[in-house]
Amino acid sequence: MVLSDCVVPAIASALKKSDGFEPAVGIVLGSGLGKLTTHIESPVEIPYESIPGFPRTTVAGHKGRMILGRIADKKVVVMDGRFHYYEGHPASVTALPARLMAAMGVSVIMLSNAAGGINPDFTPGDIMMIKDHISFIPNPLIGPNDDTLGPRFPSLTDAYSPRLRAVAAASASKLGIALKEGVYVAVTGPSYETSAEVRFYRTIGGDAVGMSTTPEVIAARHQGVEVFAASLITNVNTPDAPKGPSHEEVLEVGNASAEKLSLLFANMIASL
């Protein structure tokens, strides 16, 4: 899929429907993390299927809508649902939400996901602020580079903004939320990890593992947008556990703990 064939029509449609709405912050919500939408004032919903070039979401816990509104008096655009490589989309398509928000003019993109903990010190319901990643998902920049968006070889040093991580730490302290920090390992899925893979991810420095986020981060940084990302730890992967995780478990823990992450994001936005 050529970038101009899918992204430009989507941008044009979204801007037309938003009546010139110019958001400052973009947010992408992961599985079971839609409760942040309750913090949006004067929301305007745009279903993904009404945006030319946008696929439909097919995963439970992803509603598939763009929401325009305000959080803490700041204009935001929220993507309630994302696209995954395991759904059969090329990596460039998984980055579409970030591409669209960057084109709408946001200076900050905040991403969330549900992830399995591989750090034995984590427990279900923890929030892990992502400080770096290791990605096994193909890079969305593979193919011809669009020089109008960003450089051929963008640096991912400090891909996860130190400034925004400091804001998150201050917000978490204010709210009394215990905030963990770690390295996110992105894998293609959709199968969950084998015991040997969990051991491997721990050995190479991973703290949590999931099936999304890194293509959006790379695309956002390619366009010079500042990035913050956090994982809601929905289960802890123990290599010798007799029972592995399930998507139902992910959604259950996500629904139970999502308000904590929503409060963190809302407080951060108020502080920007």
Q: What are the catalytic residues?
A: 31, 62, 84, 86-87, 114, 211-212, 235, 247
The C-alpha atoms of residue 76 and residue 71 are separated, in whole angstroms, by: 7
Q: Which residues contact 63 (CB under 8 A, 6 or more apart)?
A: 34, 57, 80, 81
CB 201 within 8 A of CB 185: yes
C-alpha distances (whole Å) from 126 to each of 22, 101, 115, 260 are 33, 28, 10, 9
Question: DSSP letters of 29-90?
Answer: E-TT-GGGGGG-EEEEEEEGGGSTTPPPP-STT---EEEEEEETTEEEEEEES---GGGT--
The C-alpha atoms of residue 162 and residue 4 are separated, in whole angstroms, by: 32
Coil, helix or strand at residue 28: strand
Query: Would you state the structure tokens that stand for residue 138, as one six-digit string?
Result: 């193909």
- In the chain, the amino acid numbered 63 is K
CB 184 within 8 A of CB 208: yes
The C-alpha atoms of residue 123 and residue 141 are separated, in whole angstroms, by: 34
Shortest CA distance to 141 belongs to which of 159, 115, 128, 164? 159
